[in-house]
C-alpha cells in the first residue's frame, strides 16, 4: 500500500466527541472507516452518504471476545486495518476515599482494559501486514496527573501510556507505529452527559469540589475544537514519521512543558542522593536543603 492509497481506520468510541469527529475527518480525507460503538445505529445514519467506505459495528471494548469479533469483521469487510484508534473512554467524579469500588473498577475496565483488548485483537493483523499505526487516546492528565476527583480515569491513562511504550518497542520490528494522543479540554460531552458526579463530602470541597466547579461545570467551555484535533490526527498519521506523543491544545502544551521542567529540576536536585544507592558510589551524601518560604 502506497502512502496515497486510502487507509482503513478502526476507531472505538465513535458515537460522540473526538471519536465521532475523527470518523468524519478520516472519511472527508478519503479514508475507509470501521466506526465502532456500543450502539452504532446512529453512526450508520449520520455517515450514510459515504456508502460502503464506512462500516458501523457494535463493540463493547470491555469484552475481549467482542474485540476479536469486531476486528475479524473489519478485516473480512475491508481486507486490512491500517490505523487502529483506541478512543473509547469516560470519567466519573468522586474522591478516592468515598469512591464506589465497582464504579472505579468499571471505569478502568473501559479506559485501560478496553485499550488492551482491542490492541491485542488487532496485533496479529498488523504484524502479518508488516505495517500499521496504533493511536492511543490518553489525556494531558495521563502525563501530569493530579486532577482531584478522577483518580480511576487518570490512573488508567497512565497505564495506557506505559502499555503503549512497551507496545512500541515490541512491534517496531513489524513496521507498526504507536502514537499516544494527549489532549487538554475539548468541546465534547466528556464532562457532560458522559460523566457522573458522585457525592462530594465537605472535607473534599477545596479539592474535588473546586476542580469540579471550575473545570467540569464552568461556563466558559473548553478551548479545544474536536474537528481541528481530528484533522490534525489524520494529517499526522499520513506522515512517514509520527510523534510518540502528540499533545493537542494550548493547555496540554503548557502543562506538559511545565511538568517536564519541574521533573527535571527535582531529578537534578536529588541526583547525588539517588546515585548513592548503588554499590561503589559515595555514601552517605547530604540530602538537598529544605525549601524555605
pLDDT at 132: 98
In a domain, 124, yes or no: yes
Same-domain pairing of 192 and 269 = no
**For the segment 15-49, what is each residue's pLDDT rounded down to a tens digit?**
889 999 999 999 999 999 999 998 888 787 888 89
Instruction: Specify the number of domains making up the chain.
Output: 2
In a domain, 3, yes or no: no
pLDDT at 16: 87
Same-domain pairing of 240 and 265 = no
Same-domain pairing of 257 and 156 = no
Query: Which residue, among 20, 23, 40, 41, has the nearest Cα to 32 in the 3D structure?
Result: 23
pLDDT at 238: 97
Same-domain pairing of 180 and 270 = no
Same-domain pairing of 31 and 123 = yes
Same-domain pairing of 279 and 195 = no
Same-domain pairing of 98 and 206 = yes
- The CATH number of the domain holding residue 173 is 3.40.50.720
Catalytic residue selected from 153, 164, 184, 204: 153
Write b or e for each residue in 83-115: b if 16 or more Cβ atoms lie within 10 A of its Cβ, otherwise e. Answer: bbbbbbbbbbbbbeeebeeeebeebbbbbbbbb
pLDDT at 46: 83
Q: Is 204 a catalytic site residue? A: no
In a domain, 2, yes or no: no
pLDDT at 292: 64
Q: Is 281 exposed, middle or buried (0-12, 13-18, 19+ CB in 10 A)?
A: exposed
In a domain, 223, yes or no: yes
Give the domain extent around 240.
Answer: 8-248
Same-domain pairing of 96 and 116 = yes
Q: Is 153 a catalytic site residue? A: yes
In a domain, 53, yes or no: yes
Same-domain pairing of 99 and 23 = yes
In a domain, 1, yes or no: no
pLDDT at 43: 83
pLDDT at 110: 97
In a domain, 189, yes or no: yes
For the whole model, what pTM was predicted? Answer: 0.93
Cα separations (Å) of 7 from 4, 26, 132, 270? 8, 9, 10, 48
pLDDT at 3: 52
In a domain, 176, yes or no: yes
Q: Is 272 a catalytic site residue? A: no
Catalytic residue selected from 138, 147, 152, 164: 138
Same-domain pairing of 278 and 204 = no
Same-domain pairing of 180 and 280 = no
Catalytic residue selected from 15, 116, 152, 157: 157
Q: Mark the ranges of the chain whose per-residue pLDDT is less than 50.
A: 1
Same-domain pairing of 278 and 149 = no
Amino acid at each position: 500500500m502506497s502512502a496515497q492509497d486510502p487507509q482503513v481506520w478502526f476507531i472505538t468510541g465513535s458515537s460522540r466527541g473526538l471519536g465521532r469527529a475523527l470518523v468524519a475527518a478520516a472519511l472527508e480525507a478519503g479514508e475507509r472507516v470501521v466506526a465502532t460503538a456500543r450502539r452504532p445505529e446512529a453512526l450508520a445514519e449520520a455517515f450514510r452518504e459515504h456508502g460502503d467506505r464506512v462500516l458501523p459495528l457494535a463493540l463493547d471494548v470491555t469484552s475481549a471476545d467482542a474485540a476479536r469479533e469486531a476486528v475479524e469483521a473489519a478485516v473480512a469487510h475491508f481486507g486490512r486495518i491500517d490505523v487502529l484508534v483506541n478512543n473509547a473512554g469516560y470519567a466519573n467524579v468522586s474522591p478516592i476515599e468515598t469512591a464506589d469500588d465497582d464504579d472505579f473498577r468499571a471505569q478502568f475496565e473501559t479506559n485501560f482494559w478496553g485499550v488492551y483488548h482491542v490492541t491485542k485483537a488487532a496485533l496479529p493483523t498488523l504484524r502479518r501486514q508488516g505495517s500499521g499505526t496504533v493511536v492511543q487516546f490518553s489525556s494531558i492528565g495521563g502525563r501530569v496527573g493530579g486532577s482531584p476527583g478522577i483518580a480511576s480515569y487518570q490512573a488508567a491513562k497512565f497505564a495506557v501510556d506505559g502499555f503503549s511504550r512497551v507496545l512500541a518497542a515490541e512491534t517496531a520490528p513489524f513496521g507498526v507505529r504507536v502514537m499516544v494522543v494527549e489532549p487538554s479540554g475539548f468541546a465534547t460531552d466528556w464532562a457532560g452527559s458522559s460523566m457522573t458526579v458522585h457525592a462530594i463530602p465537605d472535607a473534599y470541597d477545596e479539592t474535588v469540589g473546586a476542580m469540579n466547579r471550575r473545570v467540569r461545570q464552568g461556563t466558559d467551555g473548553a478551548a479545544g475544537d474536536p474537528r481541528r484535533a481530528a484533522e490534525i490526527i489524520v494529517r499526522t498519521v499520513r506522515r512517514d514519521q509520527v510523534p510518540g506523543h502528540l499533545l493537542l491544545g494550548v493547555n496540554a502544551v503548557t502543562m506538559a512543558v511545565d511538568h517536564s521542567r519541574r521533573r527535571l529540576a527535582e531529578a537534578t536536585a536529588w541526583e547525588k542522593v539517588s546515585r548513592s544507592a548503588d554499590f561503589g558510589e559515595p555514601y552517605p551524601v547530604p540530602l538537598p536543603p529544605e525549601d524555605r518560604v
